[in-house]
């Protein structure tokens, strides 16, 4: 535009960022505080028409009356001297229109459509409370901008109050009878007949048409011509959302259908719509969060759980805990890690080995117990051999043979000694008779009456003790020699 100024007050006009039928939008910067803004200029040809000029300023008046985060803030408005261009300085917002998102994604998820629908209805409810009707609600006039404080981290803002019907005293422009204003795809039936008598219920119908479009991926009515669209809004029955393949809560579908009633009296108010959508939004968010946690822990219900080995179970301990530990009445399952399991096995093995060593270790009482067996072959075996040759049964024949382990220390000297054993080795047993170094047993020698009497008077030996390894302290090794002499 040739008449666009380089500066308006403290704002320095920058590059053009948009162009429309009514005019152009430029970026601007406040020279003092550095705030960035958008400046909307009205075309000079349209500015000469008083009615058009009045509608242009209606946008600034309508938004200034209502304080809501869903509206674009207005900083200033006016017209330059000498019939210069009319302008509106407003908040600079960056985002995408709902029309652009629908063109890219066709239809929106139910939760996203609910969030945007609730924000739209809540903003329009605040506008209607100031007795203002927008009359041109459509996806192209709805801007989606990032907002961390808003639900879903994005905010829907309503643009273009240029044809808004304002309350008396604000400066509303006159509307001729029969004059149609708005976008025919989203217009209410009564607005198709004329814009003079419309009220807030026209915005309710348009809101329902936008919600229908977000859920179904297409507007409720879509004709090739303006006349066809008007006829559909007036007479054609609405195709239910379920027949469009929409999978949404029944309460939401009923709410959208109620907004699209052809009779304005059957439609709810915008405040009632906002409250109903807010409740549905809270329920849907709760159900969505619950359904998102269950598959993350348990997986699909139809998928069979694989049988895992103990190693796999230890490796998957975290998943099992998260699956079972969160349910009511189930306790947490603790799986030992491999390192702790190996440590426990080593400790158990060491304990078993220690018990075995204690059980097999020779006891002190066995070493100190006196042995009743003969200390030397010279004192015992000739007697037993002579008694056997005569067929006489002596106590020596019925005596049990002691365990070599139990007499290890006392008989070791006997096993290693020859008939010429040293006296020091023979005296290991205190009760044994001291042998004569030169005496040797003979085959036909008869025992003396004193030897037989001594052998018969000896006490019966105790039962054999538990077998233990022979002690090596103070004794000689048995080696390969036999601990007991062979009785012939």
- Facing residues of 25 across strands? 18, 40
CA 254, 260, 263, 268 torsion-angle sign? positive
Is the Cβ–Cβ distance between 132 and 167 less than 8 Å? Answer: yes
Round to whole Å and give the CA distance between 184 and 205: 12
The tokens for 312 are 């796999």
Is the Cβ–Cβ distance between 322 and 333 less than 8 Å? Answer: no
First to last CA, the chain: 141
Is the Cβ–Cβ distance between 6 and 85 less than 8 Å? Answer: no
Neighbours of 238 (CB within 10 A): 16
Q: Residues 83, 131, 136, 263: which is the catalytic one?
A: 136
Closest CA to 419 of 381, 446, 472: 381
Residue reference for tokens 């028409």: 49
Known catalytic membership, residue 136 = yes
Helix axes 449-456, 377-389, angle to 10 degrees: 100
Angle at 28 between CA 26 and CA 34, to 5 degrees: 160
Closest CA to 219 of 139, 124, 104, 144: 139
Round to whole Å and give the CA distance between 437 and 142: 129
Is the Cβ–Cβ distance between 441 and 377 less than 8 Å? Answer: yes
Round to whole Å and give the CA distance between 56 and 25: 13
Is the Cβ–Cβ distance between 162 and 59 less than 8 Å? Answer: yes
Round to whole Å and give the CA distance between 470 and 472: 6
Round to whole Å and give the CA distance between 275 and 279: 6
Round to whole Å and give the CA distance between 229 and 162: 23
Round to whole Å and give the CA distance between 62 and 55: 10
Q: Tell me if residue 382 falls in helix, strand or coil.
A: helix
Catalytic residue numbers read: 136
């Amino acid at each position: 535009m040739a008449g666009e100024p380089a500066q308006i007050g403290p704002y320095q006009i920058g590059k053009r960022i948009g162009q429309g039928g009514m005019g152009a939008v430029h970026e601007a910067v406040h020279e003092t505080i550095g705030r960035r803004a958008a400046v909307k200029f009205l075309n000079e040809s349209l500015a000469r028409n008083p009615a058009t000029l009045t509608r242009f300023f209606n946008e600034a008046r309508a938004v200034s009356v209502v304080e809501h985060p869903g509206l674009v803030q207005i900083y200033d408005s006016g017209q330059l001297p000498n019939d210069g261009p009319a302008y509106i300085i407003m908040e600079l917002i960056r985002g995408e229109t709902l029309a652009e998102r629908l063109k890219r994604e066709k239809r929106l998820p139910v939760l996203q459509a609910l969030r945007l629908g609730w924000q739209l209805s809540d903003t329009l409810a605040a506008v209607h409370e100031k007795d203002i009707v927008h009359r041109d609600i459509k996806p192209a006039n709805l801007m989606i901008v990032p907002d961390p404080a808003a639900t879903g981290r994005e905010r829907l803002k309503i643009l273009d109050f240029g044809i808004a019907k304002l309350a008396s005293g604000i400066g509303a422009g006159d509307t001729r009878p029969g004059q149609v204003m708005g976008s025919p795809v989203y217009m209410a039936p009564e607005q198709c007949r004329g814009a003079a008598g419309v009220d807030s219920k026209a915005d309710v119908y348009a809101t329902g048409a936008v919600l229908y479009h977000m859920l179904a991926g297409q507007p409720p009515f879509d004709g090739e011509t303006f006349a066809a669209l008007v006829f559909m809004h007036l007479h054609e029955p609405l195709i239910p959302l379920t027949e469009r393949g929409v999978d949404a809560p029944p309460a939401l579908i009923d709410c959208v259908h109620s907004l699209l009633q052809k009779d304005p009296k059957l439609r709810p108010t915008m405040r009632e719509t906002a409250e109903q959508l807010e409740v549905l939004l809270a329920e849907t968010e709760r159900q969505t969060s619950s359904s998102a946690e269950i598959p993350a822990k348990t997986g699909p219900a139809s998928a069979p759980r694989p049988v895992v080995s103990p190693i796999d179970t230890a490796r998957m301990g975290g998943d099992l805990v998260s699956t079972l530990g969160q349910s009511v009445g189930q306790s947490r399952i603790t799986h030992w890690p491999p390192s702790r399991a190996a440590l426990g096995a080593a400790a158990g093995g060491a304990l078993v080995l220690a018990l075995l060593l204690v059980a097999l270790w020779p006891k002190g009482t066995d070493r100190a117990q006196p042995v009743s067996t003969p200390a030397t072959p010279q004192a015992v075996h000739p007697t037993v051999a002579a008694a056997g040759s005569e067929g006489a049964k002596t106590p020596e024949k019925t005596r049990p043979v002691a365990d070599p382990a139990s007499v290890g220390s006392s008989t070791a000297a006997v096993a290693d000694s020859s008939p010429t054993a040293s006296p020091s080795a023979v005296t290991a047993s205190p009760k044994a008779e001291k042998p004569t170094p030169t005496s040797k047993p003979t085959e036909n020698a008869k025992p003396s009456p004193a030897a037989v009497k001594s052998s018969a008077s000896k006490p019966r030996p105790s039962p054999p003790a538990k077998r233990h390894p022979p002690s090596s302290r103070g004794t000689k090794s048995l080696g390969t020699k036999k601990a007991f002499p062979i009785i012939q």
